[in-house]
Amino acid sequence: MLIFFIVTISFVKSVAIELNRPLDSPQIDNPVKNALFRIDESNGVYFSGRLIDLEQVATNLAMFAAEYEISSVLITADENSTHNTLMNVMNNIKQYDDYPISLISK
């Protein structure tokens, strides 16, 4: 019986389809842009022209980074604003990511 199965079985060579897959994951090219924070004389923090809470610095930066590739973060502080507000903004930026920060004076 074993000889019968060996003789009657046909060995079929399997056919495979070759796939050309990309080596890396696709890169999405976001436009490069600077993130702009402004601190006014009453220590109000503005991001892209909108007044935000100090606790929302990282959240707004994350939403901005989803749309644009951030080259650097620019901070404009009024001369009457406090140093504490400027340092809190800078620390929140650094906690989110290690972007280069530039201070702009008027």
Spatial neighbors of 46 by CB under 8 A, at least 6 apart, are: 37, 38, 39, 40, 52
What sign does the CA torsion over 18, 22, 23, 25 have?
negative
Query: Domains in the chain, please, with CATH?
Result: 31-104 (3.30.420.270)
pLDDT in tens, 41-97: 999 999 988 999 999 999 999 999 999 999 999 999 999 999 999 999 999 999 998
pTM: 0.69
Instruction: Quote the Cα angle for 34-35-37, to 5°.
Output: 135
Nearest to 82 by CA among 49, 51, 45, 53: 45
